Structure 1
């Protein structure tokens, strides 16, 4: 008499019969459709889990809390603030700039909180790209990851073009030389060790923070009369012709894309989660404190720029160049030396932003190569003994050759196009974080896990935040191209603002169709094993055929919420103990001040 096969035994048979299913977080019976299962998704419709190879040659956790915080600041306070505000002011006027940056700032802060919840719980390589794959849709995650890699690679090119623009303050001699010098330096630095990247970012970001603090003080003094004309400016520049809303509605919504370019980079702090020490402590701290510092810097800086610099200032933003409002304010203070210093700081910020984008893009490509199934060639998963994914670094940096197009179409116009591409890509990333968070939270609740189990939870954002982020950012993407259509259609501007949407859709559909499962899996189970699951006869190999269409949205009821959860390591506990010893020791007040500032 044949022995009856239990459900768990059948799972084992299924698992052994189809090794390809080991990639996924759950195994479903092939007869689930015959049984009338509520979820009719087949094997390949389950969430793809991102797992780095279990070898010593993977990424290293070499970034400290102070470095991670400064990386978040350095990734945001950079080219977008120092140069992008000039373009924003010229396009929309001072009021449009202040309002749009404030709106985008709040949206990004909420988005960061959503990302922080997932990054603290699952500090893996790939960050929000991995979360979109795991909790929302593998096909969407594939399209998003490649889009964001392209975003970072183009950002490096954008920063190299910005370096040429900044250099024009001193000389117009062969500006492409500075791009080559910066490119060699960035690739060399990122090929050493993640600590080298982190330390450079820390000190460059510190310089930017100090400079912005000086700028805020100087901007107030210039406005009240300490300027070359010895006159009180006040709100005069808000009342000139065309201000405060230059360009009307089209000019107003156009500022959204430049604001998105400026704020871009905050979401990539999640990418550092896979290389952050003690992520359970450090990631929430970064999310909660860093963005408020950024927002304060942005709001105060933009307010002072709008007060002190008229929207129609000569060469503020045109085809050949873009002038930094920060440099203009320092010149108004009456010091050419100070203006040169400010321009030097802008140059270092361009270097910092390029460094940050190159790091993030390299890690995204590495993450694509280590997920299962692979979404990038295996060669990009190779790392040096110091944990540097060198092949991924070289491919990411190679896109920087775009910067040499400035020789043919002008620095200002090329930088504007690249800024549009990066800004829209940042917005797509924020929408994706909202989608991933929505499905993650839904899975957490449906599977009955207590909210108290979450290592970090922004309670005031429940339950509205994911929907708010998705809807508000989608509206921004749709509206910001208004001026490229009305009153006159500009094909180049339209393409730079909307190109990534059809590209995302094509990549999403292509991956989903390529990965579409068979209607009947290639299994040959014993008839008595099949009868234990369903009265349907056992499947045969000959019944295998491709399904024409399917939906690969991840089922929140079965996605594995335990995998990749961070478990505190000995070094994490040692780090906590060392911190407590310092804070409670003889120099406790000094250490508390240091941790607060650093």
Structure 2
């Protein structure tokens, strides 16, 4: 395959025409339906990554890295996804494609990198579904152990399937409700845990920063490195705002708002949430995830030890909603990734198909089936072991994905300048470029190298092949996919920037606002008030 896609005559550039919608190739001409609004995209961006990683994984990180280790880890991971989100925003407005960063990578970097990224990311979505399903078992174990693990997995596997098969509009509304609950609850968590730390609860006296003073960092530098996979895993999913742009009525309005909400999510959900954990929960507590007991979440532990059982039950319920929500988002994203790969010729052509309501059935079937099947690994293994395997796999896939998003952004801007275009002509410009894009890319590379060090010399163990492959197999899979694709596609290592068609698969905008027209009947009159052209 040539590095540059073949274009048909219909993809020649045309001026935007009000009331006319035209589509080209390279992934833009799909059977998806643009039924998501700014409200959907903003709430999905706010809540899509709030799941097992924060509510449950924070406890494991606290135990291995200490209170300062987990807090610094979330600061670093937060700065990275903040950078990545700005890169996504600028490209998603101009190129709203079904698998987003996979197709951007194919357009601006090279087909081999896009192949490796696409299949790696698809597998990470599958793993996340499995991880969230096994998390349901851990969460529901807080209330009862009467139901077999396989029973819980089966029940909520069908729930996730149901959310996805009822169409993108139903999916969007479910995620709005779930994100609203998660977003509202975090305020309760912050204020209530400040009170408990100050001694305002019946279970114990003032705690303050006792655990920070006793041992801020556990296991030294290795302990800090061990925290990073969980921090990255917790924030993975934030990039899904780029995927939903392809099914958004007006990306130019919706995507920047989603990007603008990043700072709020990072400061509230992760930094303040992690800080509340570190000042309320002892890192040596036996009930922390990976230790003994079913009260796995550090937030639940904090409420239980503070003598506030109603809040502990409410916290557990919010965790339950979070993990089901994250699982359904992963099913959505995995199906769209296979569609984008098919449009690049990197997956069977059948994955391009969707029904009349925009449901990509082939992608949904394989993603949800495999994700649910892997969840049954939890039946014969401890939840902490399964979490470790899956989070390590997902975090390294995520680092590769974030790095390629930043690199694609850098290459897009380079191509834009090389071809003599004015930055003012971009439909939306990130004020963080180029510093944020380079910051995100460099840290992704450094952390992949650091995780290699931790995989070779793990905490509390001698170097062994089993631990290395369990922790680092993701990178091996990526390298093998890339090398295989290099042999198949051949060609130069980079797409020649001078030959990139910047208008192919691009969306053009006119001043008319699609979402304002939606109030007067979106389906009947949208095409009369929007002018954007796919080329």
TM-score by length of 2: 0.89
What per-residue deviation string (whole Å, max 9, x for no partner) do you get for residues 101-141 of structure 1? 10110111011101111111111111111100100001110
Corresponding residue SS for 2:503:
coil
> Is 1:51 aligned to residue 23 of structure 2?
no
**Aligned pairs for 1:36-115 within 5 A:** 50-53=26-29, 58-115=31-88
Q: How far does residue 343 in structure 1 lie from its aligned partner after superposition?
A: 0.6
Equivalent position to 2:121, from 128, 131, 148: 148
* Equivalent residue runs for 1:105-504 within 5 Å: 105-173=78-146, 174-240=148-214, 243-318=215-290, 323-371=296-344, 374-400=345-371, 401-462=373-434, 464-486=435-457, 488-504=462-478
Residues 498 and 369 of structure 1: is their aligned pair in 2 closer, same or farther, counting only changes over 3 Å? same
Partner of 1:585: none
**In 1, Cα distance between the equivalents of 2:143 and 2:465?**
34
Mark the runs of 5 or more structure 2 residues left unpaired by the alignment: 10-23, 521-535
How far 1:317 moved relative to its partner? 2.6
In the alignment, is the contact (CA less than 8 A) between 1:167 and 1:175 conserved in 2?
no
Unaligned runs of 5+ in 1: 1-18, 28-47, 517-549, 581-598
CA distance in 2, matches of 1:503, 1:25: 32
Separation of aligned partners in 2, 1:472 and 1:483:
16
Q: Does 1:24 align with 2:6?
A: yes
Contact 1:114/1:466 (8 A) holds in 2: yes
Aligned-partner Cα distance in 1 for 2:374–2:405: 28
**Cα distance per residue 1:322-356 (max 9 Å; x no partner):** 71011112213322222111111111111011011
Cα deviations across residues 234-281 of structure 1 (Å, max 9, x unaligned)?
1111233xx210111110111111100001011121001100111111
Please give the alpha-carbon distance, in whole angstroms, between the structure 1 residues aligned to 2:300 and 2:359.
37
> C-alpha separation between the residues in 2 aligned to 1:286 and 1:416?
30
Alpha-carbon separation, structure 2, partners of 1:467 and 1:96? 24
Contact 1:168–1:175 under 8 Å retained in 2: no
Q: Which residue of 1 aligns with 2:524?
A: none
Q: Distance in 2 between matches of 1:109 and 1:337?
A: 35
> Cα distance, 1:579 vs. partner?
8.6
Q: Measure, in 2, the Cα distance between the counterparts of 1:492 and 1:503.
A: 16
CA contact (8 A) 2:222 2:454 kept: yes
1:554 to 476, 491, 495: 495
- 1:559-570 residue pairs with structure 2 within 5 A? 559-568=500-509
Where 1:388 maps in the other structure, the secondary structure is coil
Instruction: State whether residues 26 and 559 of structure 1, in contact with CA within 8 Å, keep that contact through their aligned partners in structure 2.
Output: no
Name which of 506, 509, 519 aligns with 2:480: 506
Distance 1:150 1:25 in 2: 30
Instruction: Note if contact 2:212-2:278 (Cα within 8 Å) is conserved in structure 1.
Output: yes
CA offsets 1:412-441 (integer angstroms, 9 cap, x no match): 111111011111111111111121112111
Instruction: Give the whole-Å Cα distance in 1 for the aligned partners of 2:510 and 2:361.
Output: 27
How far off is 1:577 after superposition? 6.2
Q: Distance in 1 between matches of 2:289 and 2:27?
A: 45
Of structures 1 and 2, the larger Rg is shown by 1
Deviation at 1:315, TM superposition (A): 2.5
Query: Could you tell me how far 1:292 is from its partner in structure 2?
Result: 2.8
Of stretches 479-488 and 382-391 in structure 1, the one that deviates more from structure 2 is 479-488
Classify 1:22/1:166 alpha carbon distance in 2 versus 1 (closer, same or farther; 3 Å).
Answer: closer
Answer whether contact 2:5 2:26 (CA < 8 A) is retained: no
**Higher relative contact order structure (alpha carbons within 8 Å, sequence separation ≥ 6):** 2
- CA gap of 1:460–1:406, structure 2 versus 1, over 3 A, is closer
Preserved contact between residue 237 and residue 307 of structure 1 (Cα < 8 Å): yes
CA RMSD of aligned residues (A): 2.3
Q: Report the CA distance between 1:490 and its aligned residue.
A: 4.7
Deviations 1:155-203 (A, max 9, x none): 0000001111111111223122111111111112211210010000000
Q: Distance in 2 between matches of 1:77 and 1:274?
A: 22
Query: Which residue is equivalent to 2:530?
Result: none
CA distance in 1, matches of 2:494, 2:221: 37
**Residues of 1 paired with 2:337 and 2:291: CA distance?**
33
TM-score by length of 1: 0.80
Distance in 2 between residues matched to 1:485 and 1:492, nearest whole Å: 10
Q: 1:437 to 1:26 in 2, by over 3 A?
A: farther
CA contact (8 A) 1:218 1:333 kept: no
